[in-house]
Amino acid sequence: MLKLVEREGVPLALTRRPGSGRPLLIVPGVMADAAAWQPVVDALDVAGPVYVLNRRGREPSGALGPGYSMRTEIDDLVRVLEELVAAEDADRGVDLFGWSFGGLLALEAAARHPRTVHSLALYEPVVRPFGRGALAALRRAAEANDLDRAVEIVNRDVSGFSEEYVTRLRRSTAWQTLKPLAAPLASELTALNDHPVDLSAFGALDLPVTLLQGGENAGVPPYGDVFAVIASALPRARVVTMPGQGHLAHAQDPEGLARHIEQALRRAGRPGSGAGWSGAGLPEAGLPKTGLPEAGPA
């Protein structure tokens, strides 16, 4: 099912899996859309409706538009949250999950409008500086409309994947899927690096927060060092490590990632779970991965 929310004339499209109860909203990062997260949605064992946002720059949502910035994205997400609270009669707010770039958006939206959010689950959110060294090359690729080059840059120079990995990726069917997703990439990473973050506002959040990290990224740039910054800013959050995973668990092991999301929801007091939040800030063991990664970062 598809739902459209409009903000200032720009359509924002969401997929919706039907359900009854508090809704879950998934916010992807760059180089991903709702379709990329559908395997996770299919694997989720939750009673409530599950939404996935197609952010700007991803059809059938609208273009980034003039004056695009992180504030554009944050205001979009706040608008979506308000619409979902009203449409689903979710007076206690929405369970919000964000991955990478989408994780930062989820944090910012929750800090600005906490009444719309019941709980947060964040998979390796990113903050500036991130991918800054690749921005000039990404802008040149965007000006030349060279999407092949943009996909290569984001995998090699931003995510740090090996040349062998990128060669295999280029030969796979996933490459053609990634090319249109790379079109807004230079603008998105520019907006991320231009966006000042108030870490103290994140630490003041009074709601259940779970931080998910791939075990392969612990302490390893570019994702591990940024994760450490976020974790320090959220001392009450529960930190969960997923052994054997990197930044792409939604592609490598959607079933395993779905189990981690379910656990976060149970800790947040999902109806019927009998569990409440215990923000102990302690790492937990994760689930093993299967399969191979398909796509780039953030």
- Asked if pLDDT for residue 282 goes beyond 60, the answer is no
Beta-carbon contacts of residue 264 (< 8 Å; ≥ 6 apart): 97, 119, 121, 208, 210, 212, 238, 240
The pLDDT of residue 160 is: 87
- Confidence class for position 1, pLDDT limits 50, 70, 90: confident
What does each C-alpha distance from 8 to 62, 72, 79, 110, 276 come to in angstroms?
11, 11, 10, 21, 38
- Confidence class for position 84, pLDDT limits 50, 70, 90: very high
The pLDDT of residue 297 is: 61
Question: Strand 50-54 relative to strand 10-17: parallel, antiparallel, unpaired?
Answer: antiparallel
pLDDT digits (tens, 9 = 90+) for 134-190: 999 999 999 999 999 999 999 999 988 899 999 999 999 999 999 999 999 999 999
pLDDT digits (tens, 9 = 90+) for 97-132: 999 999 999 999 999 999 999 999 999 999 999 999
The pLDDT of residue 272 is: 35
Lowest average pLDDT, out of 64-73, 192-201, 266-275, goes to: 266-275
Contact, 262 vs 50, CB < 8 A?
Answer: no
Chain centre distance of CA 14: 14
Beta-carbon contacts of residue 8 (< 8 Å; ≥ 6 apart): none
Q: Which helix (H) or strand (E) holds 123?
A: strand 117-123
The pLDDT of residue 296 is: 56
The pLDDT of residue 290 is: 31
Q: Can you list the alpha helix ranges (DSSP code H) found in the chain? A: 34-43, 70-87, 101-112, 135-143, 147-153, 163-171, 174-181, 185-194, 199-203, 223-233, 249-252, 254-267
- Asked if pLDDT for residue 273 goes beyond 90, the answer is no
- Asked if pLDDT for residue 270 goes beyond 60, the answer is no
Q: Which among 7, 12, 58 is positioned nearest to 35, based on CA atoms?
A: 58
- Confidence class for position 2, pLDDT limits 50, 70, 90: confident
Q: Which helix (H) or strand (E) holds 212?
A: strand 209-214
- Asked if pLDDT for residue 71 goes beyond 80, the answer is yes
pLDDT digits (tens, 9 = 90+) for 27-66: 999 999 999 999 999 999 999 999 999 999 999 999 999 9
Number of continuous H segments (helices) and E segments (strands) in the chain: 12, 8
- Asked if pLDDT for residue 253 goes beyond 70, the answer is yes
